[in-house]
Amino acid sequence: MIKMKYHELLSTVGGLGYFPKAPGTAGSLAGLVVCYLLRGNAAAYVLAFILVFITGVISSGKMEEYTKTTDPSCVVIDEFAGIFLVFFMIPMTGLSIFAGFLFFRLFDILKPPPIRTVEKIGGGWGIMLDDILAGIFAHILLRILLFQGRFSI
Task: Give the pLDDT confidence of 42-79 residue by residue, as tens digits.
Answer: 999 999 999 999 999 999 999 999 999 988 999 999 99
Smallest CA-to-CA distance from 84 within 118, 46, 119 is with 46
**Would you say the C-alpha torsion 56, 122, 8, 22 has a positive or negative sign?**
positive
* Domain-embedded: residue 67: yes
Secondary structure letter of residue 16 according to DSSP: G
Query: pLDDT for 94-116, tens place per residue?
Result: 999 999 999 999 999 999 999 98
Smallest CA-to-CA distance from 109 within 119, 99, 98 is with 119
Q: Is the pLDDT of residue 4 over 80?
A: no
* Domain-embedded: residue 116: yes
Mean pLDDT of the chain: 93
Mean pLDDT computed over 108-132: 92
* Domain-embedded: residue 103: yes
How many domains, in total, are found in the chain?
Answer: 1
Secondary structure letter of residue 17 according to DSSP: G
* Domain-embedded: residue 96: yes
* Domain-embedded: residue 153: no
pLDDT band at residue 150 under the 50/70/90 scheme: low
The amino acid present at 21, given as its one-letter code, is K
State how far the Cα of 130 lies from the Cα of 70, in Å rounded to an integer.
Answer: 13
* Domain-embedded: residue 22: yes
* Domain-embedded: residue 56: yes
Range of the domain at 129: 2-147
* Domain-embedded: residue 152: no
